[in-house]
């Protein structure tokens, strides 16, 4: 599956009565997409949820889109072929864009292994709205964690097309943040993300 020209015809874009700028003014913070990417077991979901909790405690509007969770609903019709992975990320990019327009800081935690797919998600929004956060734990660290037992299954051949083992992961060239989630403490990683958001004017200083 790949993105293509819309099949629907006779459709018109309707402007909302409340726009993104008004929401930002009302809430006291900008919206943004925080795109956590990395191998399975690299700590994407853990870090995304910890950042989410920290932002929520500050009274900010946030939401986490988790790779496993969306495959229970929005993307339950997709497998793990290259084409399905591409469509998975295309859908998430569009959903994240909706959250951005709604004035929410949306945190996405997806392996999203292909650089081109992540770039397409970035290109959906304006510069400065998309923060690619590379959870850069080494493969041996991720495999030693193996919280879901997936690496063991992939090594045995029970799981085909598994990123890092039988399918490639293309690391970001120039992410907004690169965090060594294999060595850095979680609390320290959270502070790195929070500071970046403050420095870029997404959220106010504490």
Q: What pLDDT score does 126 carry?
A: 96
Q: Which fold has domain 20-138+170-199?
A: Rossmann fold (3.40.50)
Q: How far apart are CA 89 and CA 167, in angstroms?
A: 16
What is the distance between the alpha carbons of residues 51 and 56, in angstroms, rounded to a whole number? Answer: 8
Higher pLDDT, 63 or 26: 63
Q: What is the mean pLDDT of the chain?
A: 92
Region of 125 please: left (phi>0), alpha (psi -120 to 50) or beta.
beta
Residues in the chain: 206
* pLDDT surpassing 90 at residue 26: no
Q: Give the pLDDT mean for 154-170.
A: 91
Q: Is 81 a catalytic residue?
A: no
Burial class (CB in 10 A: 0-12, 13-18, 19+), 107: buried
| pLDDT at residue 3 greater than cutoff 50 | no
End-to-end CA distance of the chain: 44
Residues in a beta bridge with 177: 133
pLDDT tens digits, residue range 82-93? Answer: 899 899 999 999
Using alpha carbons, select from 109, 87, 112, 99 the residue that is nearest to residue 163: 112
Structure-block tokens of residue 129: 């709205």
Q: Is pLDDT above 50 for 175?
A: yes
Q: Are 38 and 189 in contact (CB under 8 A)?
A: no
Taking 60 as the threshold, does the pLDDT of residue 2 lie above it? Answer: no
Q: Which of 196, 148, 182, 152 is nearest to 38 (CA)?
A: 182
Q: Could you report the per-residue pLDDT of 58-114, keeping only the tens digit for each?
A: 999 999 999 889 899 989 998 888 899 899 999 999 999 999 999 999 999 999 999
Check 42, 112, 167, 189 and give the catalytic one: 112
């Amino acid at each position: 599956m790949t993105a293509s020209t819309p099949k629907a015809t006779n459709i018109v874009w309707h402007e909302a009565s409340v726009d993104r700028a008004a929401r930002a003014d009302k809430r006291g913070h900008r919206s943004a997409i925080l795109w956590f990417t990395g191998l399975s077991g690299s700590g994407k979901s853990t870090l995304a949820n910890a950042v989410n909790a920290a932002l929520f405690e500050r009274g900010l509007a946030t939401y986490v889109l988790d790779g496993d969770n969306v495959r229970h609903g929005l993307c339950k019709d997709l497998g793990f072929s290259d084409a399905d992975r591409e469509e998975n990320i295309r859908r998430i990019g569009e959903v994240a864009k909706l959250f951005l327009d709604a004035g929410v800081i949306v945190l996405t935690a997806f392996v999203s292994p292909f650089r081109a797919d992540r770039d397409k998600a970035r290109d959906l929004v304006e510069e400065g709205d998309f923060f690619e956060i590379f959870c850069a734990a080494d493969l041996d660290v991720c495999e030693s964690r193996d919280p879901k037992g997936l690496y063991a299954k992939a090594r045995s051949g029970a799981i085909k097309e598994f990123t890092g083992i039988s399918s490639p992961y293309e690391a970001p060239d120039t992410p907004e943040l690169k965090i060594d989630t294999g060595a850095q403490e979680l609390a320290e990683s959270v502070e790195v993300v929070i500071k970046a958001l403050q420095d870029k004017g997404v959220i106010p200083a504490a």
